[in-house]
Amino acid sequence: MGCFAFLKVMMFVFNGIIFVAGAAILGVGIWVKVDSGSILGFIQGIKDAPEGLNQLLNVGYLLIAIGALLLIIGFLGCCGAVRESRCMLLLFFIVVLVVFIAEVAGAVVILVFKPVAEELISKLGTQAVDSIKKDYGKNPDVTGLWNATMDTLKCCGFYNSSDFDGSPFQMPDSNRYPPQCCKDTTRPCASKDAIVPGCFPKFKKLIDENSAVIAGVALGIAALEILAMVFSMTLYCKVGSKRN
């Protein structure tokens, strides 16, 4: 297999994977917006939901946008390689370059505005705790959303079990906590048995423990994007020289 044929195969395989991934993400995004039984549907139905929580409704649109972008990139890469279209290869290079620049800019913004992000998380935490104290045990949507979150992450409340103090869940018995907070997760318990850590500290710990992996994945994605741009430009030049 010659160098030219190898480049074509690599471009086709690489972008075929991107195309399939984009189709999957697009499908999930459409499902999130259409399915009334999804978690976003629960959030939309929450009465007096915090403003920050309502922003999660945009996740479906975000998934659709990302899926559509990956579909375009995969299509341009595959068709550009198979049909030896310099126009498609050039468009592929431009789109990937724009995405790469946007990712770098986003990383810089996150680093520069990290204190602002921490302050925002703190405010969202206050709203989440207020939501628990006001509606957990009374509003079935809020209760179901928190139960699903705690079951999935194996955590208790936003910060810890004290988030449930004074909530409607405790009204019949002021000294009980949800089963997810307890040693025995099959029934509610008293404060001395509510030992499960909060969701935010557990999520933050998970991020901290896997920061090297996250950084590695980010660098890997960046390397793949650079490699894709190099492949597309090399193939672009070879197609041009072949036609000349």
Residue 241 has pLDDT above 60, yes or no: yes
* Mean pLDDT, the chain, integer: 79
Determine whether 39 is exposed, middle or buried from the number of CB atoms within 10 Å of its CB (0-12, 13-18, 19+).
middle
Contact 204, 211 (CB under 8 A): no
CA-CA distance, 18 to 3, in Å (whole number)? Answer: 23
| Residue 197 DSSP class | P
189-221 pLDDT, tens digit each: 888 888 899 988 888 887 777 777 777 877 888
Give me the mean pLDDT over the 113-138 stretch.
81
pLDDT over 50 at 52, yes or no:
no
Domains and CATH numbers, the chain: 3-112+213-243 (no CATH), 115-204 (1.10.1450.10)
In this model, does residue 171 exceed pLDDT 60?
A: yes
Of the given ranges (2-16, 19-33, 43-57, 145-159), which has the lowest mean pLDDT?
43-57
Q: In this structure, what DSSP letter does residue 160 have?
A: S
Per-residue pLDDT at 235 exceeds 80: yes
Buried b (16+ CB within 10 A) or exposed e, 124-145: bbeebbebbbebbbebebbbeb
Q: Check if the beta carbon of residue 122 is closer than 8 Å to that of residue 200.
A: no
Question: H or E stretch including 75?
Answer: helix 59-82
Average pLDDT over every residue of 109-130:
77
Range in 54-58, 72-76, 170-174 with the lowest mean pLDDT: 54-58
Q: Check residues 157 and 55 and name the one with the higher pLDDT.
A: 157
Q: In angstroms, rounded to a whole number, what is the distance separating the alpha carbons of residues 26 and 28?
A: 5
| 157 contacts 132 by C-beta, under 8 angstroms | yes
SS3 of residue 207 by DSSP = helix
63-109 confidence digits (pLDDT tens): 788 888 888 888 888 888 888 888 888 899 998 898 888 888 877 77
Q: Using CB atoms within 10 Å of the CB of residue 183, give its burial: 0 to 12 exposed, 13 to 18 middle, 19+ buried.
A: exposed
